[in-house]
C-alpha cells in the first residue's frame, strides 16, 4: 500500500482536503446537536446528548490525530504548486493538528462530558440562583480545562491561558490584550463619568408601556432580520436561555430571549446574533468545509455582531426606520414610539449588572472583569468557591454596582460552564474592531447611513463581504483589519466614536 511519501505531494494535499471535509461534517453535525440541546431538547435527553457529543468530538479528534497525519502535512507542505488559498488552508490544517495532538482522546472525551453536564446544570442553576448546585460540576470543567491548557501550552510554546486563547483567537496573546485593555482603562472610567453627567442634564426618554407580546416581537425581529439580509431559507430564529448563533453557513441557527416588559432587549440580541449569522453566510463557499474557509477568530466574529448591534442599530438613521416599524406592528401611540425616544433609550448609559444588556460605553468593563477572573481561574489563583465573591467585588470596583444575587453575578454567563475560557476578551477586541471597520465603510461609501434610513443594508453588506467575510481565514485578524482600514487596531478610534456619540 502506498504511503504518504510515495504519493505526489499535491495528491497528498487533495487527500487532506477530503479528510478535513469529513471532519468538518462531523463538527457540523455536533453543532446542530448543541443547538437542539439549547432550544428544543427535553431535559431528560441531557445524558444521551452528552454521550452523543462526546462521541462525535472523539471521532473528530481521532481523525485529526491519525498517526500518519503529521507526515501527510509535511509532504503537502513540500508541494511547490499550491496557490495562496491552498497554502493558507494547509497552514490552518497544521494549526488544528497541533492543537489536537496536544490533547489525548481520553481528556477530550472527559472534558466534553463534563462540559455537557455543567452547561445543562447551569440552565437550571441560574433560574434557581443556585451556585452551590453548579459548583462541583464547574470545578470539574475548570480542572479538566487546566489539564488541557497545560498540555497545549507545551505544544504551542505559550502560557496555558494563551493556549486557550489561541483556540478562539488564533495568534492572540494575553500580553497584547493587556496592552489594549490598559489603553481602554486609561480613558474609559473617566469617560463613563463624563457621559453619565452629560446624560443627567437631559430628561430620560419616554418608554412605551408593555406588555409587548412575544409573537409581535418575533414579527418585528423577522422584518428587521430580512432588512439586514438574513436568508430564512438558510437559517432560523428560536428562543434559548442565552442568545447565541450556531449551525453552519448553509443552515444558520440563532436564538434570543424575549422580555415582554422591554421592547428593545430581545430585539437587540437578535441584531447581534444576526450579525454573526451574516458573517457565517458570507464566508467563502469554495472553502466552507476547510480550515481556511472558517471565521478568522472570534474577535473578527464579534466585530460583525457588534458592528450591527452597536454601530448600526444605535445610529439615528437605522432607528428612524425601525421606530415607525415597531409602532406599526405593536399599534403604538404617543411620543414614546417616536424615533427620538427610541434613540434615547438605546443610547442610554448606566452602570448595569448584566453584560448582554450593557450599553457600549460600559460593556468593555464587563469584559475586562471576566478576563481577569478567568485568567486567575486557569492560573489556580482563584477557586470556584471564591468566584462569586470575586465577581461581585470586581463589579463594584469596575462598574460601581454589586449584584444582589449570584444569578445576576457569577452565574449570568454560559461561557465558563460551557468550557469557553479565552473567549471573553474577544468581545471587546471585537467592539474596537467594529468601530474601526464601520468608520472605514462610511469613508468608502458615504451613502450607507442614508440607505440604512430606508431599511436597506445592502450598501453596507456589499462592503463587509469582500473586506471581511469572503476572506475567511486567509489573512490573520490583524491583517484583515489593516487591509480594510489601513491601520492596526487602535483604541483611539473607539474612544473618539464614544465621545462623538455620547458627548457630542
Cα dihedral 91/92/98/99 (nearest 10) = 160
Half-sphere exposure of 492 (CA within 13 A, CB side): 3
DSSP reduced 3-state for 81: coil
Q: Determine the Cα–Cα distance for residues 269 and 446; give it in Å rounded to an integer.
A: 27
- Structural contact between residues 215 and 231, judged by C-beta atoms closer than 8 angstroms: no
With residue 247 as reference, give the H or E element that holds it: strand 245-248
Q: Determine the Cα–Cα distance for residues 31 and 295; give it in Å rounded to an integer.
A: 15
| Prior bond of 211 cis (ω within 30°) | yes
- Longest Cα–Cα distance in the chain: 80
* Neighbour tally for 412: CB within 10 Å: 19
With residues binned 3-state (H G I as helix, E B as strand, rest as coil), the percentages for the chain, rounded to 5, are 70, 5, 30
Q: Please spell the DSSP secondary structure of 149-192, one letter per residue.
A: HHHHHHHHTS-HHHHHHHHHSTT--HHHHHHHHHHHHHHHHHHH
From 92, 273, 309, 360, the catalytic residue: 273
Q: 273 an active-site residue?
A: yes
Q: Where do we find the cell 505531494? A: 9
DSSP reduced 3-state for 349: coil
Q: Please spell the DSSP secondary structure of 364-423, one letter per residue.
A: HHHHHHHHHHHHHHHHTSS-TTTHHHHHHHHHHHHHS---SSSTTTTTS-STTTTT-TT-
Distance of CA 58 to CAs 30, 163, 503, Å? Answer: 11, 20, 52
- The neighbouring-strand residues paired with 99 are none
Query: What grid cell was written down for 121?
Result: 446544570
Q: Determine the Cα–Cα distance for residues 273 and 237; give it in Å rounded to an integer.
A: 10
- The catalytic residue positions are 273
Amino acid at each position: 500500500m502506498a504511503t504518504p511519501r510515495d504519493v505526489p505531494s499535491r495528491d497528498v494535499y487533495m487527500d487532506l482536503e477530503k479528510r478535513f471535509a469529513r471532519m468538518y461534517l462531523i463538527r457540523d453535525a455536533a453543532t446542530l446537536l448543541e443547538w437542539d440541546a439549547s432550544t428544543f431538547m427535553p431535559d431528560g435527553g441531557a445524558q444521551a446528548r452528552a454521550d452523543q457529543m462526546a462521541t462525535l468530538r472523539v471521532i473528530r479528534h481521532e481523525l485529526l490525530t491519525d498517526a500518519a497525519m503529521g507526515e501527510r502535512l509535511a509532504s503537502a507542505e513540500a508541494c511547490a504548486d499550491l496557490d495562496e488559498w491552498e497554502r493558507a488552508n494547509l497552514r490552518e490544517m497544521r494549526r488544528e493538528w497541533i492543537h489536537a495532538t496536544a490533547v489525548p482522546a481520553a481528556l477530550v472525551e472527559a472534558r466534553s462530558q463534563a462540559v455537557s453536564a455543567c452547561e445543562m446544570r447551569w440552565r437550571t442553576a441560574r433560574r434557581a440562583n443556585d451556585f452551590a448546585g453548579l459548583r462541583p460540576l464547574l470545578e470539574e470543567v475548570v480542572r479538566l480545562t487546566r489539564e488541557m491548557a497545560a498540555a497545549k501550552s507545551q505544544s504551542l510554546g505559550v502560557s496555558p491561558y494563551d493556549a486557550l486563547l489561541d483556540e478562539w483567537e488564533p495568534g492572540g496573546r494575553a500580553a497584547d490584550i493587556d496592552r489594549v485593555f490598559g489603553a481602554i482603562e486609561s480613558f474609559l472610567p473617566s469617560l463613563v463619568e463624563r457621559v453619565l453627567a452629560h446624560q443627567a442634564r437631559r430628561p430620560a426618554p419616554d418608554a412605551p408601556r408593555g406588555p409587548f407580546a412575544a409573537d409581535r416581537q418575533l414579527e418585528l425581529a423577522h422584518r428587521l432580520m430580512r432588512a439586514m439580509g438574513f436568508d430564512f431559507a438558510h437559517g432560523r430564529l428560536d428562543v434559548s436561555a442565552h442568545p447565541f448563533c450556531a449551525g453552519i453557513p448553509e443552515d444558520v441557527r440563532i436564538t434570543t430571549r424575549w422580555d415582554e416588559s422591554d421592547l428593545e432587549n430581545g430585539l437587540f440580541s437578535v441584531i447581534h446574533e444576526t450579525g454573526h449569522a451574516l458573517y457565517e453566510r458570507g464566508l467563502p463557499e469554495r472553502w466552507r468545509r476547510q480550515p481556511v474557509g472558517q471565521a478568522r477568530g472570534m474577535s473578527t466574529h464579534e466585530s460583525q455582531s457588534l458592528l450591527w448591534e452597536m454601530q448600526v442599530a444605535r445610529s439615528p438613521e437605522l432607528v428612524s426606520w425601525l421606530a415607525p416599524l415597531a409602532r406599526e406592528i405593536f399599534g403604538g401611540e404617543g411620543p414614546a414610539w417616536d424615533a427620538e425616544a427610541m434613540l434615547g433609550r438605546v443610547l442610554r448609559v448606566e452602570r448595569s449588572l448584566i453584560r448582554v444588556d450593557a450599553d457600549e460605553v460600559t460593556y468593555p468593563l464587563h469584559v475586562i472583569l471576566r478576563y481577569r477572573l478567568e485568567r486567575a481561574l486557569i492560573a489556580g489563583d482563584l477557586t470556584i468557591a471564591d468566584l462569586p465573591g470575586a465577581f461581585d467585588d470586581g463589579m463594584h470596583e469596575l462598574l460601581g454596582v454589586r449584584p444582589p444575587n449570584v444569578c445576576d453575578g457569577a452565574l449570568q454567563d454560559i461561557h465558563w460552564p460551557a468550557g469557553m475560557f479565552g473567549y471573553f476578551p474577544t468581545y471587546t477586541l471585537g467592539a474596537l474592531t467594529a468601530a474601526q471597520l464601520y468608520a472605514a465603510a462610511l469613508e468608502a461609501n458615504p451613502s450607507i447611513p442614508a440607505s440604512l434610513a430606508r431599511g436597506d443594508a445592502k450598501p453596507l453588506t456589499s462592503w463587509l463581504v469582500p473586506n471581511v467575510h469572503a476572506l475567511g481565514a486567509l489573512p490573520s485578524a490583524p491583517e484583515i483589519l489593516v487591509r480594510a482600514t489601513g491601520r492596526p487596531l487602535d483604541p483611539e478610534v473607539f474612544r473618539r466614536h464614544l465621545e462623538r456619540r455620547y458627548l457630542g
